[in-house]
Amino acid sequence: MTTYHVPSGSMAPTLKAGEYILVDRTSRGTAERGTVVVFDGEGYFGGSSRYWVKRVIGVGGDRVRCCTDDGKLEVNGHALDEPYLPRSLARASAVDFDVAIPQGHMFLLGDSRDNSSDSRDHLGDPGGGMVPVTRTQGRVTRVVWPLTDGRDISH
């Protein structure tokens, strides 16, 4: 297990800026749809941070599309239930997209979609916003600081 600092509100309401999270390193190099992971975005995601915290939306072989008529993401032809999104979000993404995830890669989004720099911002870049699964540092399991906000994180 390793701890990481949450630098922004891009994962709210699941994670808040300033919290410290516990990451299960035994899941390093793996990705499961719906889980929150820390990954090394160097060369794939720009910005000043090397490590990013996002939710895995699609994995190799998946097709992810935004959006259905009622504003939901669609994965492999099925509307995605996303109870972790902020209630104020009227649509799962302001950006329309339709992507096929290559084997060994993942497509990642923040829960606070209006405040998140994620795979959608890199659709036109080399790699198309996809990050190799081997870049995952592990799955987020728990908020550990501040102590009063400690809680388990599940998908």
Q: Is 88 a catalytic residue?
A: no
Catalytic residue among 8, 54, 116, 119: 54
Catalytic residue among 10, 112, 116, 119: 10
Distances (CA, A) of 106 to 13, 17, 51, 78: 22, 24, 15, 18
Are 55 and 35 within 8 A, CB to CB? Answer: yes
**Phi/psi at 64 (5° precision):** -115, 130
Q: Is 72 a catalytic residue?
A: no
- Angle, vertex CA 110, rays to CA 51 and CA 32, nearest 5: 80
Active-site positions read 10, 54
